[in-house]
Structure 1
Amino acid sequence: MNGKGATTWLNWTQYADHGPDESVLGPVAGRRVLDLGSGSGSNLAHLVTLGAAGQGVDVAPARELVARERWGDLPGLEFRTADATAFLTETDETFDVVLSIFGAVWFVDPDTLLPLIRSRMAPDGILAFSHLPPGGQGLKSAGAGLRHDRTPDQWRRILTGYGFSDVCVSLIDPPEGRAVGTMLVRAVTI
């Protein structure tokens, strides 16, 4: 349970019980949701409890195992071990919502990943992702590759160039006593 007593919740930031909730995505009931970098599956499981159908993709087999052990009984929820670009290239599924919380959007070159995401999204679909603010960690090695920090203006330009509109970039201040906030980006497919 979180601090509010909920058994599932969505967390855009790196801090427990901090930041906005799933309302960033609009209504999710009846929508197909893809989580790129689904980790333990908790964020996606929360959306499924609200009526979404969810597909979680993570490059780490151990993360899929943890997600299946914890959330495997939840109907409408699937997990798969795959590289985000390979999954998007191979699937023929279309998604209404794509999210990436400290996930693939931060680690995969946007010029490679964003056209693939866009090609798998339904009209008026929502893409939302979060990561540290630009310069929070710089462009550093991160195991599977580099972190792709972008400024708010850069994200607006890049996303618009790949067929997204209504791009909103916000910086979420950290909780008291913490130094680093979170960047949250939301865009709609044209």
Structure 2
Amino acid sequence: MTGTRSAAWDTYAQSKPQRRRSNATGETTWFNWTQYPDHGPGAEQLSLSLGGRVLDLGCGSGGNLAHLATLGMRAVGVDLSPAQLAKARERWPDIQGMELHQCEALDYLASAQPFDAIYSVFGAAYFTDPTLMLPAVSKRLKPGGVFAMSQHPAVPGCYGCQASYIPRGPEDDPAVVKRWDHEPETWEALLAEHGFTGGTAAVLPAPAESRRRIGTLLVRGIRGE
């Protein structure tokens, strides 16, 4: 199953261009929680101090991770796709403090050292059962550490495990991966159930100037003491 999922994300990687070289303000690295450029909150959501140890679950081509490393964090990323990690290494070869691993998120969390923050931007946390992911994350967060994740909001009435289809070309069936969709109130209850305090889940609206109207669900909690 892992091989099938890895191949699916390799296919996805091939369809996505590299992050542009600079954002609207001319920065060469930046943090973006949403699917829209230059929109939404940034790395402050993670409440990190200089030298903090941070983990990206499903780091993809590494843009957010590279930004955290340039801010002086010890930034660790895991991704199932070798193609995505190859893009990260190609784009960010000289970034100090950035560490990449090719593996399943839950496998890495099973033996990782503690982190000051763990996050996932349309990444592995979106595609893993939260009843497995949240306790695994909690075990690897330091007390008071932040967990945050972003993903598409659930389609009304379509909750729990859903299917995502990744195109593989005109002659092939799409690859299928599972994702987990919940209403914000359900995410807040799940955070509380698994030992997170101050849990919040809210949909960030799409930019006013965009023709697309789908917002971004941002979920955040703090590991209890």
The TM-score by the shorter chain falls in which range?
Answer: over 0.9
Corresponding residue to 2:125 among 99, 105, 118? 105
Identity %: 42
Gaps of 5+ in 2: 1-21, 166-174
Q: Displacement, 1:70?
A: 1.5
Q: Displacement, 1:137?
A: 11
Distance of 2:200 and 2:133 partners within structure 1: 19
Residues 48 and 117, structure 2, Cα contact 8 Å, conserved in 1:
no
Deviates more, 1:49-58 or 1:141-150: 141-150
Q: Displacement, 1:105?
A: 1.2
Q: Which has the larger radius of gyration?
A: 2
Count residues with an aligned counterpart. Answer: 189
Q: Displacement, 1:147?
A: 1.3
User: What residue number does 1:150 align with?
Assistant: 182
Regions of 4+ moved over 2 Å: 136-145
Q: Displacement, 1:26?
A: 1.9
Task: Give runs of aligned pairs for residues 57-96 of structure 1, distance below 5 A.
Answer: 57-91=78-112, 93-96=113-116
Give me the CA root mean square deviation: 1.6
Deviates more, 1:124-133 or 1:142-151: 142-151
Query: TM-score, normalising length from structure 1?
Result: 0.94
User: What residue number does 1:116 align with?
Assistant: 136
Distance of 2:204 and 2:106 partners within structure 1: 28
Q: Quick check: 1:141 aligned with 2:141?
A: no
Residues 107 and 144, structure 1, Cα contact 8 Å, conserved in 2:
no
Distance of 2:220 and 2:152 partners within structure 1: 15
